[in-house]
């Protein structure tokens, strides 16, 4: 899906708008070439520079995990305002001059080697923004090693784009359509390189602006901050002996809590509550949480919460006979007979006038005879 999302960028509205504008402008420039002669080179240079800068902007978006194509701006128009897009233009001229100067059978080999390294060079620039990385053997080797077998895909895509470009030039098509399709081939290649870099970011040691790892880390930090705020609010109420406010704060947090992290969050809460000077705080947190979890039919988390509370406070007891019997029965079914007996015994002994119901007493006898 990552590669498909990257390849879809050139076909988004903002990208197609830019492609169409350049294609029409290039077709108009070529239509008057007989009248203006070499002067047509000036607008073509500006248009090609615009396309090249946009291709690098698209590359950056794909490599950084963005979902939307960049918006073409007038700042991209013209050959100035950024050195990265000019690097491969200069390298292409230099490679051609070197191949032509050496001549003979070595010329095609030089051009072929440069083409084989082109995706690695573009990928290195996408990751590090350093101009020398486009030709640095170390940077190119690291990029090749990080991309691994995916580099073969890039080479294949470059060959397909090259063959497609050759056919478009040879096939009789209206100027705007030909130029627009040629632009899309170039943009798709750059988007694909960026998409592969994003997929292989771990192997490349690249940290994109948007990534699942970064999003998960940010979410975890925000989640821990919200949890700590809830703990501080509960502790503040416990310190002033306002049990009702402490329970209300905990219930509010439980209603909004992430079910996937709820068990772990409650373990963290209980661990902190066990260190509070006010020991009743642990009882308040555990009793309120277990009762609410049982009402939401989350018996497994409720049992783990009660077990942790018993580990910190062996006399821990629930407030209601119904909750005690339900949780003890569930503990019995899970093979946690000692926990079930402790819950029933603690409830029975938590107050002088407190007695187990008939169901609780029957369950207690089953556990004792068991």
* Closest to 124 measured CA to CA, from 103, 145, 97, 108: 145
* pLDDT recorded at residue 253: 85
In this structure, the answer to whether residues 105 and 48 fall within a common structural domain is: yes
Residue 228 shares a structural domain with residue 176: no
- Kindly state whether residues 221 and 95 are assigned to the same domain: no
Q: Specify the pLDDT at position 192.
A: 94
Please report the pLDDT score of residue 191 as a whole number: 93
Give the position of tokens 């998409």: 195
For residue 2, pLDDT over 70 is answered with: yes
Q: What is the mean pLDDT of the chain?
A: 84
Of the residues 151, 186, 210, the one at which a domain ends: 210
Asked if 27 and 179 count as a contact pair (C-beta separation under 8 A), the reply is yes
- Give the pLDDT confidence of 79-122 residue by residue, as tens digits: 555 677 778 878 888 888 888 788 777 878 888 888 899 999 98
Residue 79's pLDDT is: 59
Q: Are residues 242 and 345 in the same domain?
A: no
Task: Provide DSSP, 231-257.
Answer: HHHHHHHHHTT-HHHHHHHHHHHHHHS
Q: Quote the pLDDT of residue 146.
A: 92
* Sequence-separated (6 or more) residues with CB below 8 Å from residue 218: none
Nearest-angstrom CA–CA distance, 259 and 300: 12
Same domain, 51 and 89: yes
Residue 270 has a pLDDT of: 86
Domain count, the chain: 3
Query: Hey, which of 167-171, 185-189, 323-327, 363-367 has the most confident mean pLDDT?
Result: 185-189
* The model's pTM: 0.63
Structure tokens at 359: 């169901």
Q: Are residue 220 and residue 360 in the same domain, yes or no?
A: no
Helix (H, G, I), strand (E, B) or coil at 65: coil
Tell me if 68 sits within 8 A of 61, measured CB to CB: yes
Last residue of one domain, picked from the residues 175, 192, 210: 210
346 lies in which domain range? 317-370
pLDDT tens digit sequence for 220-264: 788 888 888 888 888 888 888 888 888 888 888 888 877 788 888
Q: Which residue has the tokens 């050759």?
A: 166
Greatest Cα-to-Cα distance within the chain, rounded to the nearest angstrom = 108
Considering only residues 218 and 56, tell me which one the structure prediction assigns the higher pLDDT.
56
39 plus 62 within the same structural domain? yes
**pLDDT reading at 324 higher than 80:** yes
Per-residue model confidence as pLDDT tens digits over 12-53: 998 898 889 888 888 887 877 655 556 667 777 778 888 888
What the block records as the tokens of 360 is 């609780």
CA distance 147 to 198: 10
Give tens-digit pLDDT for 287-297: 888 888 888 88
User: Which pLDDT score, from 0 to 100, does residue 181 have?
Assistant: 93
> Domain end: 210, 229, 263, which one?
210
State whether 40 and 24 are in the same domain.
yes
Q: How many CB atoms lie within 10 A of CB 155?
A: 15
Shortest CA distance to 178 belongs to which of 364, 22, 15, 351?
22
Residue-wise pLDDT tens digits, 123-182: 998 888 788 888 888 989 999 999 999 999 999 999 999 999 999 988 888 888 998 999
Asked if 72 contacts 50 with a C-beta cutoff of 8 angstroms, the reply is yes
Whether 253 and 243 share a structural domain: yes
Exposure string (b/e) for 276-288, b if CB count within 10 Å is 16 or more?
A: beeeebbbbbbbb
119, 129: one domain: yes
How far apart are the C-alpha atoms of 24 and 196, rounded to whole Å?
Answer: 31
- Check whether residue 299 and residue 240 sit in a common domain: yes
In this structure, are residues 46 and 77 in contact, taking their beta carbons and an 8 Å threshold?
A: yes
- Whether 301 and 356 share a structural domain: no
pLDDT of residue 213: 61
pLDDT of residue 370: 61
CA–CA separation, 191 vs 62, rounded Å?
6
Q: For residues 293 and 301, is the Cβ–Cβ distance under 8 A? A: yes
């Amino acid at each position: 899906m990552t590669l498909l999302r990257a390849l879809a960028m050139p076909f988004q509205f903002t990208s197609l708008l830019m492609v169409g504008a350049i294609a029409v402008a290039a077709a108009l420039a070529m239509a008057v070439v007989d009248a203006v002669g070499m002067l047509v080179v000036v607008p073509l240079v500006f248009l090609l520079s615009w396309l090249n800068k946009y291709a690098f902007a698209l590359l950056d978006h794909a490599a950084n995990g963005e979902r939307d194509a960049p918006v073409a701006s007038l700042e991209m128009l013209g050959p100035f305002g950024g050195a990265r897009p000019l690097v491969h233009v200069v390298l292409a001229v230099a490679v051609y001059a070197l191949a032509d100067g050496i001549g003979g059978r070595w010329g095609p080999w030089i051009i072929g080697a440069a083409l084989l390294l082109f995706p690695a060079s573009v990928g290195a620039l996408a990751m590090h923004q350093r101009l020398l990385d486009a030709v640095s053997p170390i940077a190119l080797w690291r990029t090749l090693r990080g991309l691994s077998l995916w580099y073969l895909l890039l080479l294949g895509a470059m060959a397909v784009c090259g063959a497609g470009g050759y056919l478009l030039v040879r096939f009789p098509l209206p100027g705007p359509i030909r130029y627009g399709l040629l632009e899309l081939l170039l943009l798709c290649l750059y988007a694909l390189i960026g998409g592969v870099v994003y997929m292989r970011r771990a192997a490349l040691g690249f940290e994109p602006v948007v990534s699942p790892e970064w999003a998960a880390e940010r979410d975890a930090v925000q989640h821990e901050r919200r949890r700590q705020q809830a703990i501080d609010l509960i502790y503040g109420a416990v310190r002033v002996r306002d049990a009702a406010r402490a329970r209300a704060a905990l219930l509010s947090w439980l209603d909004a809590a992430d079910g996937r992290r709820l068990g772990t969050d409650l373990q963290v809460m209980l661990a902190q509550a066990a260190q509070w000077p006010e020991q009743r705080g642990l009882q308040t947190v555990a009793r309120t949480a277990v009762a609410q979890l049982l009402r939401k039919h989350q018996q497994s988390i409720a049992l783990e919460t009660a077990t942790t509370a018993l580990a910190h406070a062996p006399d821990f007891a629930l407030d209601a006979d119904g909750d005690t019997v339900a949780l003890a029965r569930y503990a019995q079914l899970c093979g946690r007979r000692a926990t079930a007996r402790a819950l029933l015994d603690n409830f029975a002994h938590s107050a002088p006038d407190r007695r187990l119901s008939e169901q609780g007493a029957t369950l207690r006898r089953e556990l004792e005879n068991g």
